[in-house]
Amino acid sequence: MTEKKEKLTEQKFNLAHLTDKKGNLDGTNDYSRQMRDSLAGRLRAGDHSAAVELVDIYYKQIYLFMRRLGHDRQASEDLTQESFFNAWQHIGQLRDGKALNGWMYRIAANVSKLYWRKHKDRKTAAFEGFDVPDSTNAGDDKVERNEQLEHLKNAVARLSVKLRQTIVLHYIQQLTIAESADAAGIRQGTFKSRLNRALAALRKQVT
Amino acid sequence: MPKEEELKELLNKLPDVTTEFVQPRLAEDIKHQIPHRLSPHRVGMDTINIIIDFRINKLAAAAAIIITIIFCATFLGGRDSAGGSVLQDSVLLIKYWGASVESDISAGRSKYELLLGCGEDVVWYGDSLDTKDRNAVLMQRKLADGQYEVTFVDGNEKQVNAEELVKLLTKMLKKGVK
């Protein structure tokens, strides 16, 4: 039993090394690709411990993704749980390790979309609760920078749901274009043009 | 109006200013909801999966389906409106049996790759064995004390010494390798 626990800790430790600073599984080297493939393979085979690892890797990311899409704290927690619940139901759709990010985010994005559809009357929350670091004692440059960031945050929050999702997936969750397009359920070309529209809208708003 | 590059630079800073503490209990809550049996099939979509969800073993599930089919055929004379779905379920059952061996081998393969990645001394036999033989050795792993951990096609594991390992492999070869 203890041996099994130690093995699990060791596996989690290995996976922790393969995640970048945002917690995404880094697919840049062969070993991490192998680990990602192995995780996807184990998930497809119904391995319970692989599901636990998936939760450890993604729960923070998906919660913050929901928050950044404009859901409040309580709704974000509920939607994160719902995303994982849906993930267990759709494990058969996970192709391989390379598709892991896109698959997980696509499920979460769909859960969010359904929520907005059901609660049309609810307004998207601004990035409520996310505070730019206090800069009262900092230099002028830093104050200006923080003001710009504050403006940008509000501008992103004012974007339409689709454009906001585009910015959140690519710039804030830091997914690649391919992964973001997969998560949004659209072609890469469509995603790129949506991204350009979002950037143009932001440029207009942030002066 | 900020330049393109300046805007992108600012956007790349947004992850740091749009983050907050995430309750670890959220992870625990999600983990508690992981189903006992994760299935690549959609749950609740057909009779087989519903029965499997009740955690009845495969043979019991098969027996329950066969009894249901006989019941429908006897009392409804095969003319019921559900006839199509019974047929679909039978096809799914056959597919499920076929897939279970593959999924056991796939799970073994994933484990093998994981152990290999960790530098363990492992040997994979899965590519050349007879998958119908549930007692065939899928892989072997050398343990620190000189013993071997063997994994069989049905997913069971056993610790054996070198002599027993040779016996198992010889038996497997005699039965016929693909």
Q: Chain A contacts of B18, Cβ < 8 Å?
A: 64, 67-68, 127, 130, 153, 172
User: Cα–Cα distance between B42 and A90 in angstroms, integer?
Assistant: 7
Q: Write down which residue in A84, A105, A120 finishes a domain.
A: A120
Q: Write down which residue in A94, A120, A146 finishes a domain.
A: A120
Q: Chain A contacts of B14, Cβ < 8 Å?
A: 149, 152-153, 156, 171-172
Residue of A151 and B53 predicted with greater confidence: A151
Q: Which chain A residue has its CA at the smallest distance from B10's CA?
A: A149
Reported as a single tens digit per residue, the pLDDT across A121-145 is 776 665 655 555 555 555 667 777 7
B19/A64 CB distance under 8 A: yes
Chain B: nearest CA to A41, how far in angstroms? 6
User: Cα–Cα distance between A16 and A10 in angstroms, integer?
Assistant: 10
Length of chain B: 178
Averaged pLDDT score across all residues of chain A: 80
For residue B178, the model assigns a pLDDT of 47
pLDDT > 90 fraction of chain A, expressed in percent and rounded = 44
User: Containing H/E element for B112?
Assistant: helix B83-117
Q: Chain B contacts of A171, Cβ < 8 Å?
A: 8, 11-12, 14-15
| Per-residue pLDDT at B97 exceeds 70 | no
| Per-residue pLDDT at B33 exceeds 80 | yes
Q: Chain B contacts of A156, Cβ < 8 Å?
A: 14
| Per-residue pLDDT at B153 exceeds 90 | no
Q: Does B144 touch chain A (CB under 8 A)?
A: no
Do A46 and A94 fall into the same domain? Answer: yes
Q: Which chain B residue has its CA at the smallest distance from A84's CA?
A: B30
Q: Write down which residue in A120, A146, A173 finishes a domain.
A: A120
Task: Identify the band that residue A31 occupies on the pLDDT scale cut at 50, 70 and 90.
Answer: low
B14/A67 CB distance under 8 A: no
Do A107 and A163 fall into the same domain? Answer: no
**Residue B126 contacts residue B138 (beta carbons within 8 Å):** yes
Task: Identify the band that residue B36 occupies on the pLDDT scale cut at 50, 70 and 90.
Answer: confident
Q: Chain A contacts of B33, Cβ < 8 Å?
A: 81, 84-85, 88
For residue A180, the model assigns a pLDDT of 94
User: Cα–Cα distance between B152 and B133 in angstroms, integer?
Assistant: 9
Say which amino acid occupies A46: G
| CATH code where residue A55 lies | 1.10.1740.10
- The domain tally of chain A equals 2
Do A54 and A116 fall into the same domain? Answer: yes
Do A169 and A131 fall into the same domain? Answer: yes
Question: Residue A159 sits in which domain range?
Answer: 126-207
Domain boundaries, chain B: 41-102, 121-178
For residue B109, the model assigns a pLDDT of 81
pTM: 0.57
For residue B159, the model assigns a pLDDT of 86
Q: Of the spans A40-54, A138-152, A180-194, which averages the highest pLDDT?
A: A180-194
Which member of A84, A204, A207 has the closest CB to residue B33? A84
Which member of B11, B23, B103 has the closest CB to residue A46? B103
Q: Chain A contacts of B43, Cβ < 8 Å?
A: 89
Phi, psi of B124 (to 5 degrees): -105, 125
User: What ipTM does the predicted assembly reach?
Assistant: 0.76
Do A16 and A98 fall into the same domain? Answer: yes
Average pLDDT over residues B81-104: 59
Q: Does B33 touch chain A (CB under 8 A)?
A: yes
Q: Does B7 touch chain A (CB under 8 A)?
A: yes
B11/A167 CB distance under 8 A: yes
For residue B49, the model assigns a pLDDT of 52
Do A104 and A6 fall into the same domain? Answer: yes
Of B124, B133, B128, the closest CA to residue B151 belongs to B124
Reported as a single tens digit per residue, the pLDDT across A88-105 is 988 888 877 778 889 999
Do A180 and A163 fall into the same domain? Answer: yes
| Per-residue pLDDT at B99 exceeds 60 | no
How many Cβ pairs within 8 Å bridge chains A and B? Answer: 145
Helix (H, G, I), strand (E, B) or coil at B43: coil
Chain B: nearest CA to A191, how far in angstroms? 17
| Per-residue pLDDT at B98 exceeds 70 | no
For residue A99, the model assigns a pLDDT of 84
Sign (positive or negative) of CA dihedral A155, B10, B16, B28:
positive
Do A68 and A155 fall into the same domain? Answer: no
Q: Chain B contacts of A10, Cβ < 8 Å?
A: 118
Do A116 and A154 fall into the same domain? Answer: no
For residue A119, the model assigns a pLDDT of 82
Q: How far is CA A165 from CA A74, A169, A191, B109, B112, in A?
A: 19, 6, 10, 37, 39
Write down the residue that tokens 């994982």 correspond to. A84
Q: Does A9 touch chain B (CB under 8 A)?
A: no
| Per-residue pLDDT at B81 exceeds 50 | no
Write down the residue that tokens 């880094």 correspond to. A26
Q: How far is CA B53 from CA A41, A89, B46, B67, B92, in A?
A: 21, 12, 11, 18, 15
Beta strands B137-142 and B148-152 are: antiparallel
Sign (positive or negative) of CA dihedral B101, B102, B104, B109:
positive
Do A63 and A131 fall into the same domain? Answer: no
